[in-house]
Amino acid sequence: MPTYVTTPIYYVNALPHLGHAYTTIVADTYSRFRRLCGDEVRFQTGTDEHGEKIAEAAAKAGETPRAYVDRIAAAFRETWPHLAIRPDYIIRTTDADHIRTVQDILQQVYDRDDIYFSEYSGLYCKGCERFLTEKELVDGKCPDHLVEPKPITEQNYFFRMSRYQDWLIDHIRANPDFITPERYRNEVLSFLSEPLEDLCISRPTSRLTWGIPLPFDANFVTYVWFDALINYLTGIGYPDGPDFTRYWAAAEHVIAKDILKPHAIYWPTMLRAMGLEPYQRLHVHGYWNVDATKMSKSLGNVVRPRELVETYGVDTVRYFVLREMSFGLDASFSGDAILARHNADLANDLGNLFSRSLAMIDKYEGGRVPERPSGGTLTPDDRELMSAMSAMVAEYREHMDGFAFHRALQAVWEVIGLLNRYIVANAPWELAKHPRQADRLRTVLAFLAEALWKITLVLGPVMPETATRMAAALGMGERFAAAVIDDAVIWGSIPAGTVIGKVGPLFPRVEHKTEPAAAAKQPVKQEAVAGPGEGLIGIDQFKAVDLRVAEIVAAEKVAKSDRLLKLTVQAPEERTIVAGLAQYYNPEALVGQKVIIVANLKPAKLMGIPSQGMVLAAKEQLADGTERLVVATVAGPAAAGSRVA
Ligand code: MSP
């Protein structure tokens, strides 16, 4: 099946930042995912180079518009490989074929009497490059650019957008997936409940010359949005290129909420006026803020993707943005948050799992994936692992298809956790000591290799470089290049006898002066007990942990977190503990409970809240693949603060 994935074409008045990187990483990841599902994908990004904003930025930089746009467009183009983003085509609106296409379309729409000449007065926001309605203003200002729009009266050409209003409403209503997530679909429908005005699509050359001349009046250039949206057609060879019909029918646009209106209203009505079908789906995401404030040049908090890649590596950046943002909602970037994900989720959970598993196959099986002994009985652990793996692949597919990347990754990390527990529970280093257990050891190691190969496959779209290294280390490098998602479904897709290779740490730890969130996550990880023969601790190590009875006196949900609860406990002195219990307990149910805490854990900050300690809880894996967490409590009347030993 063909799939056509696009990003917005970015204005060249600013250098690429985290926001541009996010949308493009999303589109790249989704493209790779669709390829893994067997689709033929065309993925396009590009730059939007005409209009007032660009002309002004060029003048400010003391350059001609041409020299200026060439320079910034190159900066965008050069950024993508650093983020492992591989578009099939990068379009520029200053390309000759695009200019021709825009002019052909304008002439065609004009000939159909959908463009007319008239005088207009309105409030113009240069930042948005469009007229705003009174209703859109907040305190008389554009809510996005925080400036008062300029009243402008001029003669211009107009597109009869209002003609298509009813058709558009019907189309959105009949196609629930046309604009997602739903909140944006609702926003568009609500906007369309008022009469739609026609769209001004020209600028007089007396005011602006940096644009595409109207084919029917040389005194005007094309309005930048009418020009820009057409990139999605030019890039696939509209009207008669071989790829046009093939890919247009399968177009999926990815944008942020700032440009919802042009994509959800101008664009479908323009397509209708051209006699074309609308795109398939519009995926709208929220905004990245930085430390909970708007990212802006004037605040000096603009996050540059290449700097992040230098510190953390490309796959940490890709994983972080996809895991951290719920697609559709705003998210906040912070150095602590990416560091915590890097060290906890990647270096610890995934990296350690991978290297210790390979080390064990190397040590006990001479570096070959063992044959699973025939007739050997599977333990409940093995069965649980098998069913959790297939549940994960199903969930992953569903969520990737629905642009819920954070959920897809959550599902993958659940099984990574399960695998780490599988190792601890089966202790291959113990099995290796007893020749009678050789078959069991082989089964465990074969299961680990199989599970890691499946994880490699599903991580491919998100973390292409790491997955390539993992595949090579698993001896599956060649297979990986042509892999399909079904390889992750079938059990037994890594052949016995496959020679595994060596791999250095997948994610070398990144140290940081203030590493609170990461520090807070590590101690709860079971894999701290690590590799072969290292499963036991001495009494001194145990005694170093100060376990205490603590009474929970208050509990509340942590804002913007679906995982965390803020607990106030007495042990016997009062302290705050932030615990990952929100998915398992209502806060009220915990108040009054006497739980066991680790009282001498280094303080850490979670979502900005200082946490002093950790609550112990049992994690149970349920038959349906989900987990249940039960806090450890004391049965008898132990006073708060009593030492547990
Ligand atoms: N040129 C137009 C788009 C024309 S598409 C036919 C434009 N360009 S832009 O450079 O301003 O890019 C806007 C897009 O950049 C957003 O829709 C989003 O994809 C990305 N982002 C820019 N800042 C962002 C954040 N702070 N957070 C998330 N994405 C953001 O509009």
**Per-position DSSP letters for 47-99, written without gaps between them:** EE--SHHHHHHHHHTTS-HHHHHHHHHHHHHHHHHHTT---SEEEETTSHHHH
Q: Which two tokens stand for residue 461?
A: 């779209």
pLDDT at residue 597 greater than cutoff 90: yes
**Per-position DSSP letters for 384-435, written without gaps between them:** HHHHHHHHHHHHHHHHHHTT-HHHHHHHHHHHHHHHHHHHHHH-HHHHTT-G
| Per-residue CA distances from 31 to 24, 441, 536 (Å) | 10, 39, 46
Sequence-distant (≥ 6) Cβ neighbours of residue 264 within 8 angstroms? 172, 179, 184, 188, 282
Q: Please write the tens of the pLDDT for every residue from 342-362.
A: 999 999 999 999 999 999 999
Report which protein residue has its CA nearest ligand 1's atom 5. 8
Query: Would you say 508 and 412 are in contact if contact means Cβ atoms under 8 Å apart?
Result: no
pLDDT at 300: 87
**Does 200 qualify as catalytic in the annotation?**
no
Share of the chain above pLDDT 90, in %: 75
Number of DSSP helices (H) and strands (E) in the chain, helices first? 24, 26
The single residue of 17, 50, 512, 594 carrying the catalytic annotation is: 17
The answer to whether the CB of 256 is under 6 A from ligand 1 is yes
pLDDT at residue 526 greater than cutoff 90: no
User: Residue 24 Cα, ligand 1 centroid: separation in angstroms?
Assistant: 10
Segment among 161-170, 236-245, 592-601 with least mean pLDDT: 592-601
Q: Please write the tens of the pLDDT for every residue from 216-269.
A: 999 999 999 999 999 999 999 999 998 999 999 999 999 999 999 999 999 999
User: Residue 19 Cα, ligand 1 centroid: separation in angstroms?
Assistant: 7
CA pair distance 295, 17, nearest whole angstrom: 9
Q: What is the CB-side half-sphere exposure of residue 376 using CA atoms within 13 A? A: 20
Closest to 83 measured CA to CA, from 37, 49, 48, 32: 32
Is residue 67 exposed (0-12), middle (13-18) or buried (19+ Cβ within 10 Å)?
A: exposed
**Residues forming a β-bridge with 554:** 568
Report the DSSP pairing between strands 281-285 and 251-256: parallel
Q: Please write the tens of the pLDDT for every residue from 36-95.
A: 999 999 999 999 999 999 999 999 999 999 999 999 999 999 999 999 999 999 999 999
pLDDT at 531: 36
Q: Please write the tens of the pLDDT for every residue from 57-73.
A: 999 999 999 999 999 99
pLDDT at 626: 58
User: Residue 370 Cα, ligand 1 centroid: separation in angstroms?
Assistant: 50
**Does 406 qualify as catalytic in the annotation?**
no
The answer to whether the CB of 255 is under 6 A from ligand 1 is yes
Q: Please write the tens of the pLDDT for every residue from 485-521.
A: 999 988 888 999 999 998 889 999 998 644 333 333 3
Neighbours of 522 (CB within 10 A): 17
Overall residue count recorded for the chain in this entry: 645
User: Residue 259 Cα, ligand 1 centroid: separation in angstroms?
Assistant: 7
The single residue of 53, 98, 128, 200 carrying the catalytic annotation is: 128
**Does 145 qualify as catalytic in the annotation?**
yes
Sequence-distant (≥ 6) Cβ neighbours of residue 643 within 8 angstroms? 546, 547, 548
The answer to whether the CB of 161 is under 6 A from ligand 1 is no
The answer to whether the CB of 128 is under 6 A from ligand 1 is no
CA pair distance 251, 565, nearest whole angstrom: 42
Q: Which two tokens stand for residue 195?
A: 């009469």
Q: What one-letter code names the amino acid at 381? A: D
Ligand 1 atom with minimal separation from the 8 CA: 5
User: Residue 136 Cα, ligand 1 centroid: separation in angstroms?
Assistant: 19
Query: Would you say 449 and 387 are in contact if contact means Cβ atoms under 8 Å apart?
Result: no
pLDDT at 525: 28
CA pair distance 56, 51, nearest whole angstrom: 9
Confidence of residue 622 (pLDDT cuts 50, 70, 90): low
pLDDT at residue 183 greater than cutoff 80: yes
Is residue 328 exposed (0-12), middle (13-18) or buried (19+ Cβ within 10 Å)?
A: middle
Gyration radius from the chain CA atoms: 28
**Does 285 qualify as catalytic in the annotation?**
no
Ligand 1 atom with minimal separation from the 10 CA: 10
pLDDT at 523: 31
**Does 82 qualify as catalytic in the annotation?**
no
**Does 521 qualify as catalytic in the annotation?**
no
Q: Which two tokens stand for residue 25?
A: 């990483």
Closest to 317 measured CA to CA, from 337, 297, 331, 289: 337
Report which protein residue has its CA nearest ligand 1's atom 16. 256
The single residue of 50, 98, 142, 399 carrying the catalytic annotation is: 142
CA pair distance 103, 22, nearest whole angstrom: 32
Q: Which two tokens stand for residue 368?
A: 């070959």
**Does 605 qualify as catalytic in the annotation?**
no
**Does 294 qualify as catalytic in the annotation?**
yes
Is residue 389 exposed (0-12), middle (13-18) or buried (19+ Cβ within 10 Å)?
A: buried
Report which protein residue has its CA nearest ligand 1's atom 15. 20
pLDDT at 2: 98
pLDDT at 503: 85
User: Residue 229 Cα, ligand 1 centroid: separation in angstroms?
Assistant: 13
User: Residue 72 Cα, ligand 1 centroid: separation in angstroms?
Assistant: 15
**Coil vs helix vs strand at 242:** helix
CA pair distance 224, 230, nearest whole angstrom: 10
Confidence of residue 16 (pLDDT cuts 50, 70, 90): very high
User: Residue 145 Cα, ligand 1 centroid: separation in angstroms?
Assistant: 13
User: Residue 537 Cα, ligand 1 centroid: separation in angstroms?
Assistant: 53
pLDDT at residue 621 greater than cutoff 90: no
Report which protein residue has its CA nearest ligand 1's atom 25. 19
Is residue 367 exposed (0-12), middle (13-18) or buried (19+ Cβ within 10 Å)?
A: middle
Sequence-distant (≥ 6) Cβ neighbours of residue 429 within 8 angstroms? 360, 531, 532, 533, 534, 535
Segment among 29-38, 81-90, 127-136, 533-542 with least mean pLDDT: 533-542
Sequence-distant (≥ 6) Cβ neighbours of residue 141 within 8 angstroms? 147, 148, 149
CA pair distance 323, 26, nearest whole angstrom: 11
Q: Taking residues 161-184, what's their average pLDDT?
A: 98
Report which protein residue has its CA nearest ligand 1's atom 22. 19
Q: What is the CB-side half-sphere exposure of residue 64 using CA atoms within 13 A? A: 3
**Coil vs helix vs strand at 221:** strand
Ligand 1 atom with minimal separation from the 14 CA: 10
pLDDT at 574: 82
The answer to whether the CB of 287 is under 6 A from ligand 1 is yes
| Per-residue CA distances from 616 to 349, 556, 561 (Å) | 19, 18, 20
The single residue of 294, 363, 525, 560 carrying the catalytic annotation is: 294
Query: Would you say 566 and 603 are in contact if contact means Cβ atoms under 8 Å apart?
Result: no
Is 0.95 surpassed by the pTM of this model? Answer: no
Is residue 591 exposed (0-12), middle (13-18) or buried (19+ Cβ within 10 Å)?
A: middle
Q: Taking residues 300-323, what's their average pLDDT?
A: 96
Cα-Cα-Cα-Cα dihedral sign, residues 630, 632, 637, 642: negative
The answer to whether the CB of 254 is under 6 A from ligand 1 is no
Supply the DSSP symbol for 494: S
**Residues forming a β-bridge with 610:** 605
- The residue whose CB lies within 8 Å of the most ligand 1 atoms, and thus the one to mutate among 52, 98, 259, 304, is 259
